[in-house]
Amino acid sequence: MTTAEQTPLLEIRGLRIEGRSEGKWNEIVKGVDLTLHRGEVLGLIGESGAGKSTVGLAAMGYTRDGCRISGGSIRFDGTDLRSAPMRERRRLRGNRIAYVAQSAAASFNPAHRLIDQYCEAPVQHGVMGRAEARADAVDLYRRMRLPDPEDIGFRYPHQVSGGQLQRAMTAMAMSSRPDLIIFDEPTTALDVTTQIEVLAAIRDIVEQFDTAAIYITHDLAVVAQMADRIKVLLQGEEVEEADTEAMLASPREAYTKSLWAVRSHARPERPPAGPEETPVVSVRGVTAAYGEIPVLHDVSFDIHARRTVAVVGESGSGKSTTARVITGLLPPSAGDVRFNGTALPPSYRARDKDQLRQVQMIYQMADTALNPKHRIREIIGRPVAFYLGLSGKRLTERVRELLSLIELEPDEFIDRLPSELSGGQKQRIGIARALAAEPQFIICDEVTSALDQLVAEGILTLLDRLQSELDLAYMFITHDLATVRAIADEVVVMKEGKVVEQGGKTAMFRPPHDPYTELLLSSVPEMDAHWLDRLLAERGELPAEE
């Protein structure tokens, strides 16, 4: 595929990038080299903060606000992007180098139709006329297997589903037939079943046009399907680089090995609770709607003390709505939620302080769930004061205990602001805040999906330990089956607001499955470069359009 004497399409040497925080410039990319030949796909992996996206954007000669390139060179097909004038760089962007962003929903302009956004780059760069670009858009929409390719372009972004938008964005990146596309975590925000369609479509189109690509992701199994070579980054430095198969078979560096190892973690299922034991939380025949739109249909399941029930399903399946019903934010139209055998009032307004105290939540985005102006002392102290009535010295003492419980040094953390914490530490504070109420039951809503694998691992271990120590019951909402494998005792599979299957974890991961569970399970990428090929061959066709 590549020969040594060919001049590379992209050659980055000793790239250094600085980011500005709190008035100081800190190096965030520390001398990265990267070589990419025509038609080649390089996978760039690492945790958040590793500098993957920053390097990807630098390949377009672009840095985000508050960042600057401080050293090294970036040569694209003979042009030095660092020294080239702005006008020259703009001529390349969207024309010969294109970008596919993580969230298509946020990266399409809400004010314009898809096809107009498609045509913009080729028309502005003079690659083709508007009429020609429009015809071309329909062709590419068809190649990306979008439904209704003739008309889908005339919709606005909000009228198209997430998976379809991501494919429309890949089509848009192709519009000027670039030599290089930067894919920045293009499937991270998608459900596993949708992810497969997008991965397959991206891979096909990159092959069809022989486009070179940098594929950025934190998901090793995904990058294994897409890349010819893989480069691992850690805190702005390269760890190692090798051909995909070699990297998967025998990673050299300890860090890479540790990334590989995370996925093998799994806690054995605890024995099911006896029939005489009253469940802590019992959801019974709950039906609920947002206004006129029905969301949940007759949902029933039990959660016992010291057990974790994982609720899985694609986005829109009703997982979070179930949590809203349990917490009383959304009163159900039929059915009820029982706590230790007694029915809770449907609305949180009607629940007394003790009932409120018993049900706590931990959220997906620890970033937005913590008040940025409050110190840790206040964030954890408020529920302690509110629910348990402690104050003064006893309050501080309790906050310190809680901090020790979540394995953060009290002296060091008690007076920090959320902005002075890492993602994993913020999530730990979220856990401490839930524990502060001394509940029996905690709802964990996708608590690890915004975190890197190693950090997520730490959070899961912590939750596990707290469960055994404090006899907690967890409801774990997730779309990640690896997390389920790691932490659950029982699994509830939801689809379109209904429970399609439920039972013990071990049984759930062993065939035979309900067809939908089977689809979910088989859609989880595996650490095998040929997994996607095999899966597509097995399924024959791509799954039907949503």
Partner 1 sequence: MVARRLGLGVLTLFVISLLIFGAVELLPGDLAQEILGQSATEETVAAFRRELGLDLPAYQRYLTWLGGVVQGDFGTSLANGRPIADLIGVRLGNTLFLALYAAVIAVPLALVLGILAALYRNSLFDRAINVVTLTSISFPEFFVAYILIVYLSQTGFFPSIARIDPDAGLGEKLYRTFLPALTLTLVVTAHMMRMTRAAIINLLASPYIEMARLKGLSPARVILKHALPNALAPIINVVALNLAYLITGVVVVEVVFVYPGLGQLMVDSVSKRDITVVQAAALIFACAYVLLNLLADVLSTLSNPRLVHKR
* 65 vs 469, beta carbon nearer partner 1: 65
Residues 6+ apart with CB under 8 A from 335: 283, 284, 285, 286, 287, 298, 299, 300
Residue 285: how many other CB atoms lie within 10 Å: 12
What is the nearest approach in angstroms of partner 1 to the Cβ of residue 85? 13
What is the nearest approach in angstroms of partner 1 to the Cβ of residue 89? 8
Q: Which two tokens stand for residue 80?
A: 């030095």
What is the nearest approach in angstroms of partner 1 to the Cβ of residue 165? 12
* 162 vs 424, beta carbon nearer partner 1: 162
What is the nearest approach in angstroms of partner 1 to the Cβ of residue 299? 25
Query: Exposed, middle or buried, 529 (CB in 10 Å: 0-12/13-18/19+)?
Result: buried
Binding site for partner 1 (CB under 8 A): 57, 60, 62, 64-65, 89-95, 98-99, 101, 103, 106-112, 120-121, 124-125, 155-156, 158-159
Q: Which two tokens stand for residue 435?
A: 């524990």
* 176 vs 427, beta carbon nearer partner 1: 176
| Rg of the chain, C-alpha, whole Å | 25
Q: Please give the sequence-ordered ranges of beta strands (E in DSSP) within 105-189, or none if there are none.
A: 180-184
Residues 6+ apart with CB under 8 A from 39: 1, 2, 210, 211, 212
As a 3-state breakdown, the chain gives helix, strand, coil percent values, each rounded to 5, of 40, 25, 35
What is the nearest approach in angstroms of partner 1 to the Cβ of residue 175? 9
Going by C-alpha positions, the residue among 387, 427, 390, 423 that lies closest to residue 406 is 427
* 42 vs 101, beta carbon nearer partner 1: 101
* 112 vs 130, beta carbon nearer partner 1: 112
Residues 6+ apart with CB under 8 A from 270: 306, 307, 489
CB 8 within 8 A of CB 74: no
What is the nearest approach in angstroms of partner 1 to the Cβ of residue 168? 12
What is the nearest approach in angstroms of partner 1 to the Cβ of residue 107? 4
* 116 vs 302, beta carbon nearer partner 1: 116
Alpha carbons 133 and 265: distance in angstroms, whole number: 49
Residues 6+ apart with CB under 8 A from 354: none
Residues 6+ apart with CB under 8 A from 213: 40, 41, 42, 180, 181, 182, 183, 206, 226
CB 508 within 8 A of CB 491: yes
Going by C-alpha positions, the residue among 120, 118, 121 that lies closest to residue 172 is 118
The number of residues in the chain equals: 546
* 292 vs 538, beta carbon nearer partner 1: 292
Q: CA 467, 471, 472: angle at the middle one, nearest 5?
A: 60
Alpha carbons 74 and 77: distance in angstroms, whole number: 10
* 175 vs 523, beta carbon nearer partner 1: 175
Dihedral sign computed on CA atoms, order 521, 525, 528, 533: positive
* 103 vs 278, beta carbon nearer partner 1: 103
* 112 vs 534, beta carbon nearer partner 1: 112
Helix (H, G, I), strand (E, B) or coil at 17: strand
What is the nearest approach in angstroms of partner 1 to the Cβ of residue 215? 16
* 90 vs 284, beta carbon nearer partner 1: 90
* 60 vs 460, beta carbon nearer partner 1: 60
Alpha carbons 444 and 537: distance in angstroms, whole number: 37
